Amino acid sequence: MKPRPLAASTRWQRRHIARRRAARGGVSLVELLIVISTLTVLMATCTATLYRLMAAQRASTTSLAAALTRSRLGHDFRRDAHAASSAELNGEQLVLTGSVTSDVSANVTTRVTYRRTEAGLLRTESRGDGPELREEYRLPLTNVEFGFEADGGLAVIRLRRSAETRSIAASSRPLPAIPPVEMQIEAVVGIATADVPRDPAGREPSTPLEP
C-alpha cells in the first residue's frame, strides 16, 4: 500500500516548525570561542592599564611625601643650627648645643642631636632636665652624611642616593616608587645670636649635589 502524499498545509506547518526550532537554536562553538577570546583580551588590557595608573598614583604620592619630609628637615635643621652656640660632629650624628632663657632659670642648656638611622634621620631634643623629644624623618634609599666646618661654623647634611638605588637605575628593572634625590642642606651655627651677615630670606639654600 503506497503512502498517501501530504497535503500542502501539512508540509507548510512542518517547515514552519523546523524554522522556529532553528531560530531558537544556540550559538555555535566557534562563535562562543570568539566571544571568550575577545573578552579575555579586553580584560587583560584593562588590568594592565589599571595597574599602570595605580603605580603612577603611588609614585606621585611617595614623591610628594619625600619632598615634604626634605622640606621639613631643612627647616628644622636651619632653625636648630641658627639657635645653637656650638656644634660637634661625632661619627653618625651631629650635636648642636645652645641655651635658652626660661621662666624658671636664666639659662637652660639645649641639646639637639641628628642621628642617622636605617630609615633616614632621627632628631632628639633635650632641654635641661626636661623630657627628651624625638622626631623621625623617613628618607628611604638615601645615604645621610654630616659635615661641619669649624672655621666658618657651617653645619651640613648631605642626602645621597644609596648604592642599591644606583644599581637598580643601572639595570633594566624599573625604578622604585621612591625617587632618588641628592641635595645638601647648609646652616650657619649661631646665626640667631651672633652678628653674622645673612641673606634677605634669613636662611641658606639647599643646593643639589652632582651625581
DSSP 152: T
Write down the pLDDT at residue 181.
53
Which tens digit of pLDDT belongs to each residue from 2-25?
Answer: 555 545 567 667 776 667 665 555
DSSP 176: P
Decide: helix, strand or coil at residue 29: helix
Give the dihedral sign, CA 72/132/140/205: positive
Q: Which segments of the chain have a pLDDT < 50? A: 6, 165-173, 175-179, 194-203, 209-211
Burial class (CB in 10 A: 0-12, 13-18, 19+), 191: buried
Count of positions (residues) in the chain = 211
CA distance 163 to 175: 13
CB 126 within 8 A of CB 117: no
Say what the pTM is: 0.63
Q: Which helix (H) or strand (E) holds 145?
A: strand 142-149
Decide: helix, strand or coil at residue 90: strand
Write down the pLDDT at residue 123.
93
Burial class (CB in 10 A: 0-12, 13-18, 19+), 166: middle
CA distance 55 to 181: 19
CA distance 178 to 60: 9
Measured CA angle at 157 (ends 154, 160), to 5 deg: 140
Residue entry with cell 669649624: 150
Which tens digit of pLDDT belongs to each residue from 54-83?
Answer: 999 988 888 888 889 989 999 999 999 998
CA distance 177 to 187: 30
CB 87 within 8 A of CB 114: no
The single-letter code of the amino acid at 195 is D
Residue 157's CB is within 10 A of a number of other CB atoms, namely 23
152 phi and psi angles, rounded to 5 deg: -95, -5
Write down the pLDDT at residue 196.
41
